[in-house]
């Protein structure tokens, strides 16, 4: 699936085969894999309400809420002595996409004794319904970039690309060689 497209219906059986799972609701699967920009580009002007029912952002909202509920329950049960405010801050740190995206890169950089990465929005493109953010991540030994429909998504993509560019961690590279 490209960032501006949806998964071609012909590719869905291959996805199901790779996952070892057959989805019951094919339309829901297609929606889950459809980016907002593709949905808005594929409907007629003035039909934005129809586009809203084609892309995955509402499903992402539900998924984020479910994740938040599971994490909140686990924190509540694991830390009964902690105040509601502290639990809320702990949950936010754990479920924040930005935190998750940065964590992988930050852990790798710290393990290799580099400074923490810094993220900066370098460009904002597109109309409000199809905004694209370009973000740059930099640290003492390099930099990378990414783009996404939200700043958090762009930061996550920048971190992922930076990790790809860095290659495997030194101990992994030595074990493979």
Q: Evaluate whether residue 84 is within a structural domain.
A: no
- The two most distant CA atoms of the chain are separated, in Å, by 57
Note the pLDDT of residue 5. Answer: 47
Please count the structural domains in the chain: 2
Which domain does 35 fall in, by range?
Answer: 9-55
* CA dist., res. 151 & res. 153, Å (int): 5
Q: Evaluate whether residue 108 is within a structural domain.
A: yes
Q: DSSP secondary-structure letter at 82?
A: S
Q: For residue 167, what are the CA distances in angstroms to 33, 105, 121, 172, 174?
A: 28, 12, 24, 9, 12
Q: Evaluate whether residue 80 is within a structural domain.
A: no
Note the pLDDT of residue 100. Answer: 67
Which residues of the chain have a pLDDT value below 70? 1-9, 97-101, 171-177
User: Is there a single domain that holds both residue 51 and residue 110?
Assistant: no
Q: What is the pTM of this model?
A: 0.48
Q: Evaluate whether residue 60 is within a structural domain.
A: no
Note the pLDDT of residue 8. Answer: 61
- Tell me if 98 sits within 8 A of 155, measured CB to CB: yes
Q: Evaluate whether residue 81 is within a structural domain.
A: no
* CA dist., res. 28 & res. 61, Å (int): 15
Note the pLDDT of residue 3. Answer: 42
Note the pLDDT of residue 111. Answer: 87
Q: Where are the beta strands (DSSP E) in 47-158?
A: 118-125, 132-139, 142-148
User: Is there a single domain that holds both residue 113 and residue 170?
Assistant: yes
- The neighbour count for residue 91, using CB atoms within 10 Å, is 19
Question: The domain that contains 160 carries what CATH number?
Answer: 3.30.160.20
User: Is there a single domain that holds both residue 111 and residue 172?
Assistant: yes
């Amino acid at each position: 699936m490209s960032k501006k497209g949806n998964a071609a219906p012909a590719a869905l059986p291959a996805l199901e085969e790779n996952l070892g799972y057959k989805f019951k609701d094919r339309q829901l699967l297609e929606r889950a894999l459809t980016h907002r920009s593709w949905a808005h580009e594929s409907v007629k002007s003035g039909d934005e309400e129809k586009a809203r029912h084609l892309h995955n952002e509402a499903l992402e909202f539900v998924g984020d809420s479910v994740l938040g509920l599971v994490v909140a329950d686990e924190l509540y049960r694991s830390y009964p002595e902690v105040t509601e405010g502290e639990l809320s801050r702990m949950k936010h740190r754990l479920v924040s996409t930005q935190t998750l995206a940065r964590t992988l890169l930050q852990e790798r950089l710290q393990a290799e004794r580099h400074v923490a990465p810094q993220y900066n929005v370098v460009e904002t493109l597109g109309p409000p319904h199809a905004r694209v953010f370009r973000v740059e991540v930099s640290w003492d030994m390099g930099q990378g970039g990414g783009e996404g429909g939200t700043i958090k998504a762009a930061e996550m993509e920048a971190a992922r690309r930076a990790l790809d560019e860095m290659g495997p961690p030194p101990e992994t590279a030595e074990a493979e060689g």
